[in-house]
Structure 1
Amino acid sequence: MADPLSADALVRALKAEGVRVVEYKSWRTHNRNHKGPWGPVHGVMIHHTVTTGTDATVELCYAGRSDLPGPLCHGVIAKDGTVHLVGHGRANHAGSGDGDVLAAVTAETSLPADNEADTDGNTHFYGFEAINLGDGKDPWPAEQVEAIVRASAALCRAHGWGKSGDTSVIGHAEWQPGKIDPRGPGITMNDVRRRVAERLDHAASWTPTTPHSEEDTDMPLSDADVDRIAAATARKVALYKDTRLDSRDARQMWDDAASPHHTWQFRRTADGPDAWGLLSATAAEVGALRQVVAQLAAGGGLTAEQIEAAAATGARTALAELGARLTVEEG
């Protein structure tokens, strides 16, 4: 049996786990306790909002709707990973769900399929609403998923959950028949639970240094990553055998060409390399690579057609920007 954390203890637990916290309005006393008990609590439930925009979503989850009064959760997790606390106490987020699922969460055993709605979940679960359209297309940024993991781990750590199993964190779809959240490219509840369990094996201040799985293609690029991309690009687009570019040259070409305050001037000679052709090809290749990497970071895997379209868009954009900033003189 676990009593809910106090408001102060909740904030401390989240911040200790590295979560960025915003305390919204009078969240500490905002609840639905007059409609029923909050507690004992046994787990954490994750939802998606079917909305866009942080400010509007936070206010919606705080105030609720005419047919469903707020708070609609305890915290709203924005795309950038910030957790906005909107309620403390009973919240309208879980609704009625499967009592067998609650029993499994309490015992930290494997989750059964949810096939009935016979138990009040608002009494027994913390709830986080993550901003996402829930259409299966809206991507889940790495920062947002990491915040879901950290916030969930903070509560598990504070309550001592997760020691004999990893089912203390569930999705709404695993609780109430007919629900689908959370869903979309970049998130699965199995991956969230695995990462929560991994965090609980470390101190709250721990930060992963390597990608968690093949699904984690949205890790930020380091300078070394960019240098390797630049070097590969330079090798691929070297148009003349007597032209040599190392990664620093290729990267500097891109950075300088992208500067609005810089104009390149090249002189074309009869026996020298076609500098405009070389730089154009380099810009097109790097632009294509960056466009593909950006889409991978935003949404996970891409099909061959999506990669081709992304590369074409990146190449066109890079060349258009480059052409507007270069002056080529004939020799």
Structure 2
Amino acid sequence: MAVPPPAASLADLLRAEGLTVVETPGWETHNRNHRGPWGPVHGVMIHHTVTSGTARTVQICRDGYPGLPGPLCHGVIAKSGAIHLVGYGRTNHAGLGDDDVHQAVIAEKELPPDNESNTDGNRYFYGFECENLGDGEDPWPMAQLDAIERASAALCRYHGWGPGSVIGHLEWQPGKIDPRGFSMDSMRDRIGDRLDDQGELPPTKPPADPKPPAKPKPPAKPRPPFPGRAAFGPGKNNVHIKRLGEQLVRKGHGRHYRVGPSRTWGEADRRNVESFQRAHPQLRGDADGYPGPLTWHLLHS
């Protein structure tokens, strides 16, 4: 069962993928959960807003409008590429869609035509609304397309999904046309490439120092990309396991090693990862001893 991460972890996951995240006040508890369940989650759905202006768009997506109360999504992807988080939990973004499409998303198979509206998409999908008029002429800046790719990949990486778990609203509900202006096949290709490349991020720049340092500072080391959940677990042997162990030792969570970290996964690795997870509130709900992208991000922060 795909359980959503804690709300606070979502912002960390998106930032770990190299995104600029803006948290609107109270987004973590702003939802429609009183109208029905949210989860298990099975995919990510992309929309366009038919609005212009980031501030106005964010307000509409947070508050909704007569006949459709907010939040209308989990995050608004602005033309600048920034993601404004407006809600977490059940949101009014997907509506009723096709059960055959739903099953295809779960299986990550080719999508059938959406010709029915019989399944509650608000329960099963994350939703990102993208600032665009949706008239086929309003441009999609590269920064915005990059943010759609990264946000989708961040959630796919967390849940162990492939790009087939990302769909457009037009593929879910008959009569919908969003997102209009790029194809979802091309976006899934981009997401697949990012997942294959393990989401390598640019080096983090050191903070500006108002006073020139007396001695030159060494450049900040880039955070190593998360190698994927499949790199860890019983029977696994690779350099990522050793690097994980070395970082656990640096963070003070290596007490279960008798000799030291090695390339071979063992129970000591799992217990040390669990110890690290339990020491961080945003990881306690998933403290199973197996590193995911958020654990990896915090270990290298």
Shared fold by TM > 0.5? yes
Kept after mapping to 2: 8 A contact 1:199/1:206 = no
Q: CA deviation at 1:167?
A: 1.4
Alignment match, 1:127:
127
Q: CA deviation at 1:203?
A: 2.8
Q: Distance in 2 between matches of 1:40 and 1:203?
A: 25
Kept after mapping to 2: 8 A contact 1:96/1:176 = yes
Q: Distance in 1 between matches of 2:164 and 2:113?
A: 13
How do 1:2-151 and structure 2 match up within 5 A?
2-151=2-151
- The answer to whether the aligner puts 1:172 opposite 2:163 as a matched pair is no
**Alpha-carbon deviations, 1:277-302, whole Å to 9, x = none?**
xxxxxxxxxxxxxxxxxxxxxxxxxx
- The answer to whether the aligner puts 1:192 opposite 2:187 as a matched pair is yes
Q: Distance in 2 between matches of 1:189 and 1:156?
A: 15
Q: Could you say what the CA RMSD is over the residues aligned between the two structures, in angstroms?
A: 0.9
In structure 2, list runs of 5 or more residues that go unmatched. 203-301
Q: Which amino acid aligns with 1:95?
A: G
3-state secondary structure, aligned to 2:153: helix
Q: CA deviation at 1:204?
A: 2.9
Alignment match, 2:198:
203
**Alpha-carbon deviations, 1:92-128, whole Å to 9, x = none?**
0000000000000001111111000000000000000
3-state secondary structure, aligned to 1:22: strand
How do 1:278-293 and structure 2 match up within 5 A?
none
Percent pairwise identity: 65
Q: Distance in 2 between matches of 1:41 and 1:194?
A: 22
Q: Distance in 2 between matches of 1:29 and 1:8?
A: 10
Q: Distance in 2 between matches of 1:91 and 1:26?
A: 14
In structure 1, list runs of 5 or more residues that go unmatched. 208-331
Number of equivalences: 202
How do 1:247-266 and structure 2 match up within 5 A?
none
3-state secondary structure, aligned to 2:84: strand
Please report the TM-score for the alignment, with normalisation by the length of structure 2.
0.66
Q: Distance in 2 between matches of 1:60 and 1:144?
A: 19
Q: CA deviation at 1:206?
A: 3.6
**Alpha-carbon deviations, 1:35-65, whole Å to 9, x = none?**
0000000000000000000001101100001
Find runs of 4+ consecutive structure 1 residues off by over 6 angstroms: none
Kept after mapping to 2: 8 A contact 1:16/1:205 = no
Q: Which amino acid aligns with 2:192?
A: A
Kept after mapping to 2: 8 A contact 1:16/1:204 = no
**Alpha-carbon deviations, 1:160-182, whole Å to 9, x = none?**
001xxx31000000000000000
3-state secondary structure, aligned to 1:205: coil
Q: Distance in 1 between matches of 2:200 and 2:60?
A: 32
Q: CA deviation at 1:205?
A: 3.2
Q: CA deviation at 1:11?
A: 1.1
**Alpha-carbon deviations, 1:78-100, whole Å to 9, x = none?**
00100000000000000000000
Q: Which amino acid aligns with 2:100?
A: D
3-state secondary structure, aligned to 2:167: strand
Q: Highest CA radius of gyration, 1 or 2?
A: 1
Q: Distance in 2 between matches of 1:205 and 1:35?
A: 39
Q: Distance in 2 between matches of 1:180 and 1:142?
A: 21
Q: Which amino acid aligns with 1:68?
A: L
Q: Distance in 2 between matches of 1:203 and 1:9?
A: 19
Kept after mapping to 2: 8 A contact 1:73/1:92 = yes
